[in-house]
Structure 1
């Protein structure tokens, strides 16, 4: 009924309007409540138990299956249909953080390790094969996840997980016949297995006897603890209810109770035994009492007098109140003669052994503290409070275990924390809202960057626009520098965006040199000074240096950054950028950025300043890189060898070392591009193939714009082993001695519109650096590695680092209040 009627209604239309965030959370909450009602489970039962027992998927998974099914229909549509063409275009051009339905569907494919949807568009799959592949992937993902989540709930440790299979009801919820009694046992055994079962006698007491206390397993006697546990042992031994619930001659409960749902409830369940320690078994129930084997049987009692003296609590409660003389202070009544017969009736006496009064409730074990027996202590079943002689449930919330204002819910032998939106984790220990952070921006306004000041202002403004500004979130300071640093404003000067943006407009360039160390010193001072607004250890700290890497004091810079205690991020801005100095200052290739990679840097910031277990940011490592080598005959062999050594080989080394999920392909060109090798990550094979290349002796010039056009149209396609989900790069290695720079620049702009980045490597003694910089989308896309007086390929580590990046939820600050 649920799958036929309820699920279709709940998920109607959600394959088109995909629910996320709080809407999805609320939908899942209502769905889980419904399943618990159907299974007769308490609302506090751990969620994974619901899916484990019912064999159903979470509502999120059901929605994902509908989305994947819809996409399968689109992929199989006619190639000229508007749906198919829209899917192709959206998957090709939309960025990963867009709001496109097809990108959301692409994220779902990534979640379940399915093929890239664009490749499925081009390689049509039959309906049956697509359904089988997606269903299998979704089922495997959620089977693993549900089993992992079960491990975190102590109340579910007795549920056998080996029988869990999506679409298959757990054996605990099956009946072997249509007999009503057999069906009525299903909720009972589910509750026992999930630690939520309450004895019928206790239900009756809680409801002022408006509930029938009769045992639902046999329908013959009141379900007290002694009845329940002795019944379990009897059924385990004899596998029948033939004598009803009379506990006479059942035998005493053994040290370990093995409860088989097959013998216990009469259902045909195999391999689902629950192995429960007797003390843990009692923790399923709300009250227990000490019970003798059968001290009411005269013959058995006479053979076990000592045992009955110590364990016949029912007899003590009946006869001790009848004593003519109550026991005095420091003593307690006990059965000195526990066995009844006509010759000598049951007798009571007084003792200093207080354990003889059975003071420990709910299955607790009593032991005397000293030889005089005048004091005792109770060893309680886990979950009960020793200070009340195990009479009450221990309040697990008394120690305030939930951090960060989380609300604690006290349950038997456990607690749960209801965290606010900002925090996650068992005890709300994971802060998933980025920040707080203090960021000091340093802007180079010297002569070499006088014309690029506005780019630096725009970069900072983008940060300010995206971040929540305030004393509890992000604080911003700005320093400008040329020969000397100038503090535009400190961390605590402005607490709203409008004031910061207005102050940024005051920045202007100056005709002076570039001394970087004094500016860095001032930034560190601000970062570590509470009088200048720093929140010290209560916030993250970053320095962001926007400049071209062409300091007048490079040696001093190198010395200073080795002692800096504040992380420094460098952003390459200028007519030409020296990446090696940027890398020296930051110390990490991932901390070197550019205006064209603003989102990469912004999302990396967010990921670094939230808890590592939060899932608001996703790391992407897939990248395809095409090396495009100019082999015109106008260059000398020595210069071609330099480009091969310092360009091709050094780039392959850097990429393979940085990211194992990058595939590299290579083309050479003069008039037409020729493929050297298709996409691969085999380093040795790539280098061996690359160094077989020589100059094209018949061509003294190269058609670079045509080569770029060819690569942009087909170089990354699947038939060359390209991956549609991968970030795409073309790295141009050429002397740059071109006449048609405008045509080349236009092709690079077109490639950018198709999400293909073009970078260039300058190597050799005959190169034209100005041409390379002119055609690139950003001057920072040119990497200067070699000339007649210089050889340093470290800058290519920066290029390699761009192959992996984070994306974070656009509403991360809204959801994580």
Structure 2
């Protein structure tokens, strides 16, 4: 037994020498216990079906296992990847090394671009775009900066005009707080009326001697309601009778008090009314810088004729006005009818537009001018046709226009209704006939125009004598403020009283008192006198009508010819369409 063991030891030692030793080098393996020596061959062949071990991915002897478990080894090679990439395959900036084949017998190296967007660097909803060693961010509106980290100040560019305040309301938006009367998203519309240059053309001829105070009162009321100054409204005055004269220019009086003092010094003259020369004179003077005229795009220019429309040179005056309207749009002509007798036919043809003819007993001219002088698109002043009109028709034998006029007066009512254009406007019409009593032919409720006109022609003489003052009172009670008549509380209210004007002195006093009451209640009364032809009675008839009217401007003589009817009715319906402005139009908005 001992002999066998010795031989076995010699064999093993010889094997180790042959394997590990050569020349003068000797290898002496350590001694191992017998049970370990017996299991040596088994230990060399590791069971690679056992649980994964990171070492399997490093040593070549486990190559086959690694090939079968590449995904596992890809996750175990971080250290190996870093070491091999650093020495064998350095990559450019912005790239990293990738082991395409992670098994140790042949590591396959590649440089791969780094995804800089992987860390989500773009803030506030920005979109990231990966590049070569960089990234860029596309920001949502309202944000800027490399990473969309900066909230843009939308007010930094001062988007609000005329010095108005800007407030950054929220992300990517702002609000302009408009002061004074500026309007619009950027306060771009200056809605404070003006600036404007207004040249009054005052008729001071002999025919206006008795009414000069009324003309001055009208201009005074007008001036009191506008701001006077170099940056607001400027007022000049031309007087005319036989020849025109510049009384004061635009810069002579730069305050309301100064203008009012100058107006109070005006006197009437003797002589004819040569309106044509006066219009030509104004056309020359209204735009002269030496008269203080401001020739700027934002400055409006107006010539306001204050006259009775009874010019000595009527035809020439109308031709001159038409020529100026056609050839010079730099200023507008407006007219106010002041006088004991009013020539509506002339007044309606002098202004730039027929609806630029105004009564002196209201502020319609001022309101129209304020709207015109504000920037286009401003909404402080608004045009309106919300009007309730009553046709009050006398059917008594004594004072009815049917007496001696046959059908002419009813045709005038028919054409008046056409002038209202109730189908296309917000004007509503009603009709009441009266003698001793009254009868509503139709109220304010809408109906077909055919039915309405049919009712007009049912009017006929009913009573021997009429009571006009009682009828006027009935209009207020039964129509304007009646129950279920279709009247509107906020509508402008106008009465068109058709009569032949042959009232007695007692009636005249009573009728005037009733008309004054209606005026105080906000109801205007127009006196409509249809006549077949002018005759000797006409002066008395017009005098009667002027005596009952609140103002002579509201007396309309309607002759039985197409031209007279057209001009009279065109003038009579003018104040059914008007402009409304707030009372604080020149004050700052809150």
Report the TM-score when normalising by structure 2: 0.73
Change (3 A) 1:449 1:360: same
Change (3 A) 1:518 1:794: same
CA distance in 2, matches of 1:671, 1:780: 28
1:546, distance to aligned residue in structure 2 (A): 0.8
1:544, distance to aligned residue in structure 2 (A): 1.3
CA distance in 1, matches of 2:566, 2:437: 29
Give the alignment partner of residue 494 of structure 2, picking from 710, 729, 738: 729
CA distance in 1, matches of 2:492, 2:122: 67
Alignment correspondent of 1:550: 310
Alignment correspondent of 1:750: 517
Alignment correspondent of 2:320: 560
1:650, distance to aligned residue in structure 2 (A): 1.7
Change (3 A) 1:395 1:735: same
C-alpha contact 1:332 1:350 (8 A) present in aligned 2: no
1:334 aligns with 2:98: no
Alignment correspondent of 1:607: 371
1:664 aligns with 2:429: yes
Q: Secondary structure at the match of 2:583?
A: coil
Alignment correspondent of 1:281: none
CA distance in 1, matches of 2:209, 2:215: 11
1:736, distance to aligned residue in structure 2 (A): 0.5
Give the alignment partner of residue 141 of structure 2, picking from 379, 382, 385: 382
CA RMSD in angstroms, aligned pairs only: 3.9
Give the alignment partner of residue 800 of structure 1, picking from 573, 579, 582: 573
C-alpha contact 1:627 1:731 (8 A) present in aligned 2: yes
Change (3 A) 1:796 1:341: farther
Give the alignment partner of residue 394 of structure 2, picking from 630, 638, 642: 630
1:594 aligns with 2:359: yes
Alignment correspondent of 1:539: 299
C-alpha contact 1:405 1:420 (8 A) present in aligned 2: no
Q: Secondary structure at the match of 2:209?
A: helix
Alignment correspondent of 2:555: 782
Equivalences for residues 483-502 of structure 1 within 5 A: 483-502=242-261
CA distance in 1, matches of 2:409, 2:566: 11
CA distance in 2, matches of 1:796, 1:336: 97
Equivalences for residues 34-183 of structure 1 within 5 A: none
Alignment correspondent of 1:425: 184
Equivalences for residues 403-482 of structure 1 within 5 A: 403-410=161-168, 412-482=171-241
Equivalences for residues 182-581 of structure 1 within 5 A: 332-337=93-98, 363-366=126-129, 379-385=138-144, 388=146, 390-410=148-168, 412-536=171-295, 537-561=297-321, 562-563=325-326, 564-565=328-329, 566-581=331-346
C-alpha contact 1:334 1:348 (8 A) present in aligned 2: no
The Cα offsets for residues 57-99 of structure 1, whole Å up to 9 and x where unpaired, read as xxxxxxxxxxxxxxxxxxxxxxxxxxxxxxxxxxxxxxxxxxx
Change (3 A) 1:348 1:494: farther
1:405, distance to aligned residue in structure 2 (A): 1.0
Give the alignment partner of residue 471 of structure 2, picking from 707, 715, 719: 707
Q: Secondary structure at the match of 1:731?
A: strand
The Cα offsets for residues 167-209 of structure 1, whole Å up to 9 and x where unpaired, read as xxxxxxxxxxxxxxxxxxxxxxxxxxxxxxxxxxxxxxxxxxx
C-alpha contact 1:405 1:419 (8 A) present in aligned 2: no
The Cα offsets for residues 102-123 of structure 1, whole Å up to 9 and x where unpaired, read as xxxxxxxxxxxxxxxxxxxxxx
Change (3 A) 1:719 1:657: closer
CA distance in 1, matches of 2:193, 2:166: 24
C-alpha contact 1:323 1:348 (8 A) present in aligned 2: no
The 10-residue stretch of structure 1 (464-473 or 676-685) with the greater mean CA deviation from structure 2: 676-685
Aligned residues: 490
1:638, distance to aligned residue in structure 2 (A): 5.7
CA distance in 1, matches of 2:443, 2:283: 48
CA distance in 1, matches of 2:359, 2:179: 36
Give the alignment partner of residue 687 of structure 1, picking from 448, 453, 466: 453
C-alpha contact 2:127 2:138 (8 A) present in aligned 1: yes
Change (3 A) 1:339 1:657: farther
1:528, distance to aligned residue in structure 2 (A): 2.3
Change (3 A) 1:706 1:382: closer
Q: Secondary structure at the match of 1:718?
A: coil
Q: Secondary structure at the match of 1:381?
A: coil
Q: Secondary structure at the match of 2:349?
A: helix
Alignment correspondent of 1:718: 483
The Cα offsets for residues 347-397 of structure 1, whole Å up to 9 and x where unpaired, read as 9969799999999766245487xxxx79997643333337x5745344433
Change (3 A) 1:358 1:714: closer
- Unpaired segments of 5 or more residues in structure 2? 1-69
